[in-house]
Amino acid sequence: MTRHYSAFGLLREGLRGHSGWQPAWRSPQPKPRYDAVIIGGGGQGLATAYYLAKNHGITNVAVLEKGWLGGGNTGRNTATIRSNYFYPESVALYDFSLKLYEGLSRELNYNVMLSQRGVVTVASSPAEMEMAARLVNAMQINGTDAELLDRDGVLQKAPLLNTSDEARYPIFGGTWQGRAGVARHDAVAWGYARAADGFGIDIVQNCEVAGFLIEGGRCVGVETSLGTIHADAVALCVAGHSSVLAAKAGFQLPIRSYSLQAMVSEPVKPCLDTVVLYPGTGTYLFQSDKGEIVLGGGLDRVPSYAQRGNPPMQQTVVSGMLEMFPAFGQLRMLRQWAGVVDVVPDSSPIIGPSPVSGLYLNGGWGTGGFKAIPAGGWLTAHLIATGEHHEISRPFDLDRFATGRLVDEAAGSGIAH
């Protein structure tokens, strides 16, 4: 039997028809009691379970997933990882995540295909160049890598960008973060799941949480489609549906759910080597290892829990892409899909205790949860294990809405998440 992944293992198994590979994870029935129950088998939930075991030695843990693991936003995003943020609180969170990503494939013994190909954010006017400088300086002061590019610098990174004088949003320059990049989104979920399972953590798929056991104001477990499960601590890692679970526990959140669409083209040979964000058009894109152009843009304008695409935003995103890369007009849209994301007033996540003791929150990720999976899991595990905030998660507590201490990137840098 082969459990460890390596080139040697692949060769050996290749010679015997790959008959010896172990299941990546078990499919256990849930036990009646756990030290901790994580609701949501996406990247955040699986990472939380993994770090509970790895950092805190807590392995009597269940991850409950109502569908198939990684089937929510972890499997529906555009897989971009970056930490090009303005406020030190944001940089601390997302750069911590990027650093964890940098060692993740080896740590998990699972190739999550982290490709640090860099992110260009194009600036289309002198005013945007000033904002770009403001952002780059903030990033450098906050200790992450950033460069200000002039027009030639941007065109060097992405030669097929539109250089026409007729372009609606001409290229003046941009910002560059070289350590940023993309990863294989499904692999991140699978890698964490496999590693968490290796610690003995139960990942239970097709198990929907119907309600919470609350005794004396404290959450002591959950009612599920597979029965009652008691737990000392429960964490909500269900971004997109945070409000739905919060309602079952009797409280509201500062969250509204919106669809976020993405799509891919048919695959072509390499023609774009970086991730490109274009605030002028709102479109961002990169070319996957398979050769597909992966593109996305803004949120749909209608609050929704429907995981499906919508033509008006689709046209905006595609028009935006063709404004940026006219040659991509040769390509066709192959697939489109949508995820449902938690949108928070300041577009920053919510990590911390909930109004019900024993119940912890990890949500509000907006469009940026994928890049924060390692950090979000690490910090949520810390919270569950110690009952206290890690210093990095403290600014993202739910209490910031009453104190007014929002962490609003758009307010500071003019650039949305």
By CB under 8 A, residue 210 contacts another protein: no
Instruction: Please list every residue from 85 through 124 that binds another protein, using CB under 8 A.
Output: 88, 105-106, 109-117
- Of 60, 160, 214, 357, the one binding another protein by CB under 8 A: 160
Single out the segment in contact with another protein by CB under 8 A; choices: 29-37, 45-53, 130-138, 376-384: 130-138
Cβ-based nearer residue to another protein, 226 or 306 = 306
| Residue 377 dihedral angles phi and psi, to the nearest 5° | -65, -45
The answer to whether residue 177 forms part of the interface with another protein (CB under 8 A) is no
Number of residues that bind another protein (CB under 8 A): 129
Q: By CB under 8 A, tell whether 152 contacts another protein.
A: no
Q: Give the Cα separation of 48 and 55 in Å (integer).
A: 10
Q: Is 7 in the site for another protein (CB under 8 A)?
A: yes
Q: Residue 239: name the closest of 365, 349, 345, 350 by CA.
A: 365
Q: Kindly state whether residue 3 participates in binding another protein, applying the rule CB under 8 A.
A: no
Q: How far apart are CA 416 and CA 409, in angstroms?
A: 6
Q: Burial letters for 14-39: b for 16+ Cβ neighbours within 10 Å, e otherwise?
A: eeeeeeeeeebbeeeebeeebbbbbb
Binder to another protein among 31, 210, 386, 405 (CB under 8 A)?
405
Helix (H, G, I), strand (E, B) or coil at 300: strand
Q: What tokens appear for 82 in the block?
A: 């970056």
Contact between 151 and another protein per CB under 8 A: no
**Alpha-helical runs (H) found in 35-85:** 43-56
Binding string, residues 216-245; x marks residues near another protein by CB under 8 A: -------------------------x-xx-
306 or 388: CB nearest another protein: 306
What residues from 286 to 325 belong to the interface with another protein (CB under 8 A)?
287, 289-291, 301-306, 308-312, 314-316, 318-323
Site for another protein (CB under 8 A): which residue of 200, 227, 329, 387? 329
- Which run of H or E residues covers position 353? strand 350-353
